[in-house]
Amino acid sequence: MTGFENLTPEDSLILTNAIAISLAKGKNADEINVIGNFLVGIGCLLLTIASQQQYLTVLQESRNSNSTQNNDNANNNNNNNANNNNNNNNNNAESAAADDVIIG
């Protein structure tokens, strides 16, 4: 949004006041109400769109985070299984060696 991000809160207040005064100038109360309600309707829709965008962004980040955690957990489980298999193989080899009878 070029230009608005550089406004101070005071500047945006002055700008909105100037716009409101210029829109209301020369109009009766009914016309001002119509314009005001129209702008409020636009504002509500803009807020709805912004909140939906934020929700979808958070949802996507959450899915990405869960996906990364699931991959890390799967890798850890694979590493643990490999270590357990190696330990079992070593234990089996030691057990077989202990069972050998040495004839002297």
For the stretch 38-78, pLDDT in tens is: 999 999 999 999 999 999 999 999 999 888 777 777 767 76
Residue 95 resides in a domain:
no
pTM, two decimals, is: 0.56
Residue 66 resides in a domain:
yes
Q: How many helices (H) and strands (E) does the chain have?
A: 2, 0
Structural domain for 40, as ranges: 29-77
Residue 43 resides in a domain:
yes
Q: Is 26 left (phi over 0), alpha (psi -120 to 50) or beta?
A: left
Residue 6 resides in a domain:
no
Distance CA 100, CA 83 (A): 26
Residue 58 resides in a domain:
yes
Query: Can you tell me whether residue 25 is helix, strand or coil?
Result: coil
CB contact at 8 A, 7 and 15: yes
Residue 57 resides in a domain:
yes
Residue 64 resides in a domain:
yes
How many independent structural domains does the chain possess?
1
Residue 55 resides in a domain:
yes
CB contact at 8 A, 35 and 27: yes
**Mean of pLDDT values over 65-93:** 69
